[in-house]
């Protein structure tokens, strides 16, 4: 016999957790289709950059409108994670706050940079240099805000490492991997110094490797968090049944 309060609550958790994969898929498609695979090179001239915005204004408008709509999903995902990690470190732990703030604030650069691309698509008749500036600003903010997401990764990693269950909710290697990815993001600091080569914003180290390890981490975390929610629901249901039995017994004794 399932307790509807318990099942409903975990259903909400799961919906929130699915926002992670949802965000990644939508972003990969709609943000990516705006000439971001790989990014436009920092070495391009203002005229070359402007030509792209002028040729494809509606592509940028469509892509960035959808990307901005779903950017908040990242924060929703972070909140679901904090609920799960709260079962390990306690719901009042500062690690939950750090994780949620890190995840929530990650949405800010996502929104602001998408708005810059959208502005360029909205007003492609702006001077070439302004269009290039919008593109450069967007990439500077998107790459250099890495430390905000690192805070989320560190807090989450430490929280899941504190899991003392015989079979932890999140495998320990995934928690460690998250901490490592958070540190590996430091390589983003090199980006402003290069316009070409592997460390430039469109370089395969700065873009493909750094973004790929982030995606791998996010998918792994989503997979294990969703799986954990099912497990936590079963545990909560078993606990509630046990409590119901105890209450019934007490009722008999007192009767």
Partner 1 sequence: MPDGRTQVVAISRPVALADAERISAFRKSKLPGVDGIWVFITGDLVMFMIYFLVFTTGRMEAPAAYDLGRRQLDPLIGCALTLILLTSSWLVVRAVEAAREGSSGRVRTNLLLAMLLGTGFAGLKAFGYVHDALAGHSPSSNPFFGYYYAITGIHCMHVMLGMGLLLICYVKASKPIDDKYVLWIESGACFWHMVDMLWVLLFPMFYLLRSGVL
Instruction: Say how far residue 103 (Cα) sits from the centre of its chain.
Output: 6
**Could you tell me if 159 and 130 are in contact, meaning their C-beta atoms sit under 8 angstroms apart?**
no
3-class state of residue 241 by DSSP = helix
Could you say whether residue 195 binds partner 1 (CB under 8 A)?
Answer: yes
Distance CA 238, CA 245 (A): 11
Distance CA 175, CA 179 (A): 7
**Could you tell me if 32 and 212 are in contact, meaning their C-beta atoms sit under 8 angstroms apart?**
no
Applying CB under 8 A, which of residues 79, 105, 111, 209 lies at the interface with partner 1? 209
Count Cα neighbours of 73 within 13 Å in the Cβ-side half-sphere.
Answer: 21
Based on CB atoms, which residue is closest to partner 1, 64 or 158?
158
# of chain residues touching partner 1 (CB under 8 A): 25
Based on CB atoms, which residue is closest to partner 1, 79 or 205?
205
3-class state of residue 218 by DSSP = helix
Based on CB atoms, which residue is closest to partner 1, 111 or 213?
213
**Could you tell me if 23 and 73 are in contact, meaning their C-beta atoms sit under 8 angstroms apart?**
yes
Based on CB atoms, which residue is closest to partner 1, 131 or 184?
184
> Residue 101 burial by CB count (10 A; 0-12/13-18/19+): exposed, middle or buried?
middle
| Nearest CA-CA partner of 97 in 147, 155, 12 | 155
Phi and psi at residue 171, to the nearest 5°: -55, 140
In degrees, rounded to 5, the angle at the alpha carbon of residue 22 between the alpha carbons of residues 100 and 163 is 45
CB of 85 to partner 1, least distance (A): 17
Annotate each residue in 79-118 with x if it binds partner 1 (CB under 8 A) or - if it does not, as one string: ----------------------------------------
CB of 174 to partner 1, least distance (A): 9
Based on CB atoms, which residue is closest to partner 1, 63 or 157?
157
Annotate each residue in 212-241 with x if it binds partner 1 (CB under 8 A) or - if it does not, as one string: -x----------------------------
Which residues from 154-183 bind partner 1, rule CB under 8 A?
Answer: 161, 164, 166, 172-173, 175-177, 179-181, 183
Stretch that binds partner 1, among 66-74, 125-133, 187-195, 228-236 (CB under 8 A): 187-195
Applying CB under 8 A, which of residues 199, 207, 214, 224 lies at the interface with partner 1? 199
CB of 219 to partner 1, least distance (A): 16
Binding site for partner 1 (CB under 8 A): 161, 164, 166, 172-173, 175-177, 179-181, 183-184, 186-187, 190, 193-195, 197-199, 205, 209, 213
């Amino acid at each position: 016999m399932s307790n509807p309060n318990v099942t409903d609550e975990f259903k909400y958790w799961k919906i929130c957790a699915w926002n992670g994969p949802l965000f990644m898929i939508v972003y990969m498609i709609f943000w990516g289709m705006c000439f971001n695979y790989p990014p436009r090179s920092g070495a391009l001239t203002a005229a070359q950059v402007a030509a792209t915005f002028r040729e494809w204004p509606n592509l940028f408008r469509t892509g960035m409108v959808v990307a901005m709509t779903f950017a908040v999903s990242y924060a929703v995902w972070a909140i679901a994670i904090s609920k799960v990690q709260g079962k390990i470190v306690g719901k009042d732990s500062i690690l939950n706050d750090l994780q949620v703030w890190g995840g929530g604030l990650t949405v800010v650069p996502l929104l602001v940079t998408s708005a810059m691309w959208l502005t360029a698509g909205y007003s492609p008749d702006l001077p070439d240099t302004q269009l290039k500036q919008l593109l450069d600003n967007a990439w500077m903010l998107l790459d250099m805000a890495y430390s905000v997401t690192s805070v989320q990764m560190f807090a989450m990693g430490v929280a899941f490492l504190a899991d003392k269950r015989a079979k932890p909710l999140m495998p320990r290697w995934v928690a460690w991997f998250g901490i490592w990815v958070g540190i590996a993001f430091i390589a983003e600091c090199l980006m402003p110094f290069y316009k070409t080569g592997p460390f430039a914003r469109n370089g395969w180290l700065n873009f493909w490797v750094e973004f790929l390890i982030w995606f791998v981490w996010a998918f792994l975390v989503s997979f294990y968090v969703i799986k954990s929610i099912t497990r936590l629901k079963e545990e909560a249901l078993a606990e509630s049944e046990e409590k119901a039995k105890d209450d019934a017994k007490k009722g008999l004794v007192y009767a």
